[in-house]
């Protein structure tokens, strides 16, 4: 069954070891921030630093593994229509919108949406790390390290699929930052198999 | 007064708002992993994801600001002889040495050294995030996102200096990974002014 996450919102749910999670971009050019926590101990959490170190690559795709802060594999990427995701930047937040966009009355962003969705699982705001940002397109100038946030390369219906390698709590959003989503807020869908 | 961190070890200390911390590479080509926690609430911690997002650049240097997970400035980089540091990778650990180097009896690494040094401040192992890796040289291929760990560009006596923007607990190491340090383990020095 396909579930829909409304524009600029987020959700959380459990994913059992062996299940797959397919994240769907139904309209195209929409980012979804993905977090994963171990159900056995929520202090074990997805880690960009461990994952990138083991991959020796910033752009992850089919065949790559997402590690926890304890160097355990949490999720394997088993299918990917797009091949461009970001694993550098934290979920957008009130402060992101104030600092980067200069918003006077900023939206709570993916960060606020994840805080609300993960609270029932006992996960505190400070425990939200860098998310795996599905479909987020952050090209990098290798010589200077400068990067920009460009519209996603995903087209309507494109997907990325993960297999759980442990029992997980997943946080997932339809990203709330204009720049990350080509200037328009759209829904995200997902399916568990 | 200049303090010395022996090869493959680490330490922790407090740094008051307004004080400066100068990290010195006395022999050259040696990495130092730097962590920062707010003394007021150690759940507030240095954040690569927030910092990189606000800088829009992977390589940080003089004039750049290091943010916490709450989007507050913790440290400002006020001087830098080298201009190449890494803020992508987590401190090397037993698992790093097992997975990347295939070591049978792995060293506890910067991670283990930081765990031991930060324990007296009540900071748990799972609360160790991506460190600001002083002098670590991680060039990136912008087209593929692939990166390698190359010898630091620092020469004997080179320094990087940070000013504290809040009362902090600092963790600092002389990095324990062969690849990061041009194949030899050397000391790191630091000075607080």
CA–CA gap between residue B63 and residue B80 (Å, rounded): 9
Name the residue in chain A with its Cα closest to that of B126: A43
Residue A97 is inside which H or E element, if any? Answer: helix A94-99
Interface of B with A (CB under 8 A): 43-45, 47-50, 52-54, 56-59, 69-71, 88-90, 93, 95-96, 99-100, 124, 126, 128-130, 139-148
Locus of tokens 């002889």: B81
The pair of structure tokens assigned to A145 is: 């390290």
Inter-chain contact B47–A145, Cβ cutoff 8 Å?
Answer: no
Which chain A residues are Cβ-neighbours of B146 within 8 angstroms? 56-58
CA–CA gap between residue B92 and residue B183 (Å, rounded): 15
The pLDDT, as a whole number, for residue A103 is: 86
The pLDDT, as a whole number, for residue A99 is: 87
- pLDDT tens, position by position, B87-145: 999 999 999 899 888 888 889 999 999 999 999 999 999 999 999 999 999 999 999 99
Which chain B residues are Cβ-neighbours of A141 within 8 angstroms? 142
Alpha-carbon Rg for chain A in angstroms: 15
Residue pLDDT tens, chain A, 193 long? 999 999 999 999 999 999 999 999 999 999 999 999 999 999 999 999 999 999 999 999 999 999 999 999 999 999 999 999 999 999 999 998 998 888 888 899 999 999 999 999 999 999 999 999 999 999 999 999 999 999 999 999 999 999 999 999 999 999 999 999 999 999 999 999 9
Q: In this complex, how many residue pairs, one in chain A and one in chain B, have their CB atoms less than 8 Å apart?
A: 114
Is beta strand B32-38 parallel, antiparallel or unpaired with respect to B168-173?
antiparallel
Q: Once rounded to an integer, what is the mean pLDDT over residues B157-174?
A: 98
Classify A127 as helix, strand or coil: helix
Contact B9, B172 (CB under 8 A): no
Name the residue in chain A with its Cα closest to that of B55: A146
Inter-helix orientation angle B48-55/A48-55, to 10°: 80
Inter-chain contact A95–B139, Cβ cutoff 8 Å?
Answer: no
Distance from CA of A137 to the nearest CA of B (A): 12
CA–CA gap between residue B175 and residue B113 (Å, rounded): 9
Minimal Cβ distance to A142: which of B88, B128, B141: B141
Q: Once rounded to an integer, what is the mean pLDDT over residues B177-186?
A: 94
The pLDDT, as a whole number, for residue A56 is: 97
Name the residue in chain A with its Cα closest to that of B130: A49
CA atoms within 13 A on the CB side of A47: 27
Contact A56, B148 (CB under 8 A): yes
- pLDDT tens, position by position, B46-101: 999 999 999 999 999 999 999 999 999 999 999 999 999 999 999 999 998 998 88
The pLDDT, as a whole number, for residue B177 is: 92
The pLDDT, as a whole number, for residue A87 is: 98
Burial group, residue B55, by CB count within 10 angstroms (0-12, 13-18, 19+): buried
The pLDDT, as a whole number, for residue A102 is: 86
CA–CA gap between residue B97 and residue B109 (Å, rounded): 8
Inter-chain contact A69–B44, Cβ cutoff 8 Å?
Answer: no
CA–CA gap between residue A98 and residue A47 (Å, rounded): 26
Which chain B residues are Cβ-neighbours of A143 within 8 angstroms? 142
A contact test, residue of B86, B96, B126 with most A CBs within 10 A: B126
* C-alpha angle A124-A162-A141 in degrees, rounded to nearest 5: 80
């Amino acid at each position: 069954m396909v579930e829909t996450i409304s524009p600029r919102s987020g959700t959380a749910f459990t994913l059992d070891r062996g299940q797959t999670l397919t994240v769907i971009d139904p309209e195209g050019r929409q980012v979804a921030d993905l977090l994963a926590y171990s159900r056995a101990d929520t202090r074990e959490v997805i880690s960009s630093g461990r994952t990138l170190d083991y991959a020796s690559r910033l752009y992850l795709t089919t065949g790559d593994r997402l590690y926890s802060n304890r160097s355990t594999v949490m999720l394997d990427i088993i299918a990917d229509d797009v091949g461009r995701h970001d694993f550098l930047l934290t979920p957008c937040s009130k402060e992101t919108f104030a600092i980067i966009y200069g918003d006077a009355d900023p939206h709570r962003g993916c960060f606020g949406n994840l805080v609300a969705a993960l609270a029932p699982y006992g996960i505190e705001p400070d425990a939200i790390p860098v998310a795996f940002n599905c479909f987020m397109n952050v090209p990098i100038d290798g010589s200077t390290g400068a990067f920009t946030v460009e519209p996603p390369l995903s087209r309507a219906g494109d997907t990325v699929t993960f297999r759980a390698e442990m029992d997980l709590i997943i946080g997932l959003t339809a990203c709330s930052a204009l720049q990350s989503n080509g200037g328009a807020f759209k829904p995200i869908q997902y399916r568990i198999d």
